[in-house]
Amino acid sequence: MNREAKTQMSRRAVLRSGAWAAGVATVGALSPGTAAATGATTTGSELVLLGTAAGPALTSGRYGIASALVVRGNVYLVDCGRGALSQYVRAGLDPARLKAAFITHLHADHIADYFTIATFLAPTVMPGTGSVPTVDVYGPPSAGALPDVQGAKWVAPHHPTPGLADLTRLSNEAFAYSSNTFIAEHIGHDPVSALRVHEIKLPDVGASPIGDTAPVMKPFPVMRNDDVEVTAILVSHGAVFPSLAYRFETEHGSVVFSGDTALTPNIPTLASGASVLVHEASDPQWWHEHGAPEEFVEHMRETHTDVLDLGVVARESDVGSLVLSHIGDFQSQQQWQQRAALGARKGRYRGRVTVGEDLKRLRVVR
């Protein structure tokens, strides 16, 4: 029996079992009024889409890219886009249960709220006690170099490629006056004391910021504890290096986050057999049809994944469920759903397809 036939049989078995053909059961998008009251599961695993907007353009009523994976009540944050921590609170997630944050890459729309973890979220846990909880943060090291672009005038030419550790240090320096005045009034703390930064060591696979940024490779370990085992792989996102996708294994199922990426065989490698694949989506055809400059359209094709290709990605990954995130406001939710359904049909993907919405919650099951 070939692989595709086996995949179809396994999907039919899942359907018969009543598991939504997918590995996720939709709890539903929460309104702001019900989010805090509902809270998060303390027994199973749940995916909470805090923000689903593509950046860096501002959107009306939607928040920047960020997701939370809740495992037995403990929270693991993936990316920290604009408003991520406000959404964290609106979703009813407990600041004291934030165990770790994972950054896929250092574009501004993925880290806009990163330092908010230290400056605003940590002090809410035990205000006035002088005790500051520590959150582990995992993310990219310095790229080490930039592409050779003729005539480019780099920002901060003395240090143009800071990694996560330097981003944290420089953010702390930028907020130093605010932090120091709070400390002077005996109600503050050094923000970086709330962050334990881990720059992810990349395996030697020939990846380079000025060459192949995401060669074909195997996933590599990032961290492990009693809740989750996290692995990562390099993905292709234009000039960005490193750009990472993450896989979280829990006792209830596995969830993969693509980060920002063009088509790459590394995603099916990382996501193979996962319960849920949360994948970015672009629609270059829409931009082309609405008169965008061809240079921009080509940029979108080269740095992101066409929504019409996601069915193939999901089928090749053999995932139970596909969730679209990092999507633009240029077309409606219904239009995105139609495009995603078309991509699933073209790619012969038979699992559940969900277009993400801010504060949508999805229960993770095998």
* Sign, CA torsion 94/226/218/201: positive
The candidate with the shortest Cα–Cα distance to 244, out of 225, 217, 224, is 217
Exposure string of 91-113, with b = 16+ CB inside 10 Å and e = fewer, is bbbbbebbbbbbbbbbbebbbbb
Sheet holding 195-199, edge to edge: 24-29, 360-364, 45-51, 66-71, 74-78, 98-102, 135-139, 195-199
pLDDT at 126: 59
The pLDDT score that the predictor gives to residue 51 is 97
Q: In this predicted structure, what is the pLDDT of residue 148?
A: 87
Is the pTM higher than 0.85? yes
Q: Which residues pair with 45 in a beta bridge?
A: 71, 364
What stretches in the chain show pLDDT beneath 70? 1-42, 124-131
Q: Is the peptide bond before 242 cis (omega within 30 degrees of 0)?
A: yes
Instruction: Look at residue 101 in the predicted model and tell me its pLDDT.
Output: 98
3-state secondary structure the chain: CCHHHHHHHHHHHHHHCCCCCCCEEEEEECCHHHHHHHCCCCCCEEEEEEECECCCCCCCCCCECEEEEEECCEEEEECCCCCHHHHHHHCCCCHHHEEEEECCCCCHHHHCCCCHHHHHHHHHCCCCCCCCCCEEEEECCCCCCCCCCCCCCCCCCCCCCCCHHHHHHHHHHHCHHHHHHHHHCCCCCCHHHHEEEEECCCCCCCCCCCCCCCCCCCCEEEEECCCCEEEEEECCECCECCCEEEEEEECCEEEEECCCCCCCCHHHHHHCCCCEEEEECECHHHHHHCCCCHHHHHHHHHHCCEHHHHHHHHHHHCCCEEEEECECCCCCHHHHHHHHHHHHHHCCCCCEEEECCCCEEEEECC
Name the fold adopted by 3-144+159-364: Metallo-beta-lactamase; Chain A (3.60.15)
pLDDT tens, position by position, 315-328: 999 999 999 999 99
